[in-house]
Amino acid sequence: MQQAALLVAHVLDGGNLTDLYESTLRENPQWSDATRGAIRDLSWSTLREFGRGDALLVQFLHKPLPIYLHALLLVSLYRLEQRPAQSHTLVDQAVDAAAAVYPALKGVVNGVLRNVMREAHRHDTWRSEDIAARYAYPQWWINRVRRDHPQGWERILEAGNLHPPMALRVNARMTSPAAVLETLDHAGIPARVLDHGAVLLQQPIPVARLPGFTEGRLSVQDAGAQWAGVWLDAKDGERILDACAAPGGKTAHILERADVELTALELDPVRAARVRLNLDRLGLKANIKVADCRKLSTWWDGKPFDRILADVPCSASGVVRRHPDIKWLRREEDIAGFVHQQAEIIDALWQTLAPGGTMLYVTCSVFADENHRQIAAFRARHPDAEPYAIEADEACFLPPTADHDGFFYARLRKHC
C-alpha cells in the first residue's frame, strides 16, 4: 500500500507514473513478479478511479493533507471498495503506512477511513452529483468525447476505465497465429486470434511466461496498434519511413511483413535505443536516426519514400487506461498544441513521399481535432492528397474496447 501511495502521490505532484514505477523497480530488483504486479495494479487502478475517490474525500477532509497522505487515502478507498470484507485489516495497514511517514497524522487517516465506511450508503449519491466522479474523467474530457462521439461517448469513457487487454503480435517470418495459439494452449495460457492475426490473451501474464518471446517469435503489442502494419501494406523492395518510431513495435511489424528498406526516426535518443533493442531481439534491421522529422535537412537524403507511417505524438486519450495519470495531468489547452505539432509533422513528411506513394496517419486519440478534423485540414492544404480507403471508408476510428485500445487511422495517396 505504501509503495502504491508513493506512486500516486508522485502523479498528484505532477509527475509521470510510468517513469517513477520503472525507476522504483530498478531500485528494488529483489521484488518478485507478484509484488511488482500488485503495486502496479493498485496504483494504476487508483488513478483510473481518481475522480471517484476524490469526490468521497471532499466530504471528509476539512483542510488539505500532505500529498502522500492524500494519495494513501485514495489507495485505501480503492482497496476498501474492492475488498469490503477485509475493511478493518485494510484500515490498520493504511494507518501503519501513514505512521511510517507522518506519525502525528495517523489518527486523521484512521478517522477519515472509518467515517468513509460508516457513510457507505451515501457514496453513490455523492458521486452521482459530480460528473467527474460519475465517469472518472475531468469535466473537459467528458465534454469533448460527448461532442465528438454523440452516439458512443459513454462506451468510450467506460472502456478507458477498464483494465487493458494483453495482445501478442506474431512474427510472420518465424511462425503463424495458429502455431502460437497451439503453443500457448499447451502452456495453459488461454487466448484467441483476432481477424488481423493478433493473438489476444484471456488474461495478462508476465512476459517471461510467454513461450517464444525470447526467441523473437512473438511480441507484446495492442491489437489496435497492429492494424498499422496491415494497413500500411508495405511491399518487398519498397523504401519505407517510420517517422515517430519509438518504442519500435510498428517498425518491427513492417519489417516482419515485408523485405523493405526502412528508416526509423525518433527524436529522443533514449527512446531510439529502445527501437534498436526491440529490433535486435527480433533479428531485424533498420536505419535508425535520432532526428526531428520536421527538420528535413537534418536527416533526409532527398530520395522519396514509397510509404510513410506517421504515428504522430498525440493526447494518448485512446490509451488512457494504460496511462491513467494522463487523465489528471493533461489540460484541455494541451490539445491545440498537439494539433499544431501533428500538422507540422505531416506537412513536412508529405514532401518526402514519392508521387503515387502512401502515407498512413495514426493517433491513439479519441479526440476529433487530432483525427478527422486534422486530416480534413491537411487535405485542404494539400490538393495533391487523396483518400486511400481503409475498409471502404476514408478513415477508420477504432474506439477503445475490451479487445483493443483506441486508435485513428487515415490513409492518403499522393497524386502522380
Q: What is the pLDDT of residue 399?
A: 96
**pLDDT at 292 (0 to 100):** 95
pLDDT band (50, 70, 90) for residue 299: very high
Spatial distance between the Cα atoms of 304 and 239, rounded to a whole number of angstroms: 8
Residues 281, 252 share a domain = yes
Residue by residue, DSSP assigns 46-91 as HHHTHHHHHHHHHHH-SS---HHHHHHHHHHHHHHHH-GGGHHHHH
- On average, the pLDDT of the chain sits at 93
| C-alpha span between 341 and 191 (Å, rounded) | 39
Residues 30 and 91 in one domain: yes
Rounded distance between C-alpha atoms, residue 225 and residue 169, angstroms = 10
* 149 within some domain: no
Q: Are residues 239 and 290 in the same domain?
A: yes
Tally of domains in the chain: 3
At residue 392, does pLDDT exceed 80? no
Q: Is the dihedral of CA 68, 73, 75, 76 positive or negative?
A: positive
pLDDT of residue 345: 97
Inform me whether the pLDDT recorded for 231 exceeds 90: yes
Q: Are residues 92 and 7 in the same domain?
A: yes
Residue 121 lies in a domain: yes
Q: Which residues contact 113 (CB under 8 A, 6 or more apart)?
A: 73, 76, 77, 80, 91, 94
Listed residue (124, 122, 92, 126) closest to 109, CA to CA? 92
**Contacts of 325 by beta carbon, 8 Å cutoff, 6+ apart:** 11, 16, 17, 18, 47
Residues belonging to the active site: 364
Cα separation, 251 vs 272, in Å, equals 12
Peptide bond preceding 247 in cis form (omega within 30 of 0): yes
Q: Are residues 209 and 285 in the same domain?
A: no
Q: What is the pTM of this model?
A: 0.91
Task: Indicate if the pLDDT at residue 123 is higher than 90.
Answer: no
pLDDT by residue (tens digit) across 58-96? 888 888 899 999 999 999 999 988 888 888 888 889 888
Residue 128 has pLDDT above 80, yes or no: no
Where in the sequence is the domain holding 190, given as residue range(s)? 167-220
**pLDDT score for 374:** 97
Same domain, 273 and 332: yes
* Residue 255 · residue 279 · CB < 8 Å: yes
Residue 394 C-alpha cell reads as 476514408
Q: Are 235 and 258 in contact (CB under 8 A)?
A: yes
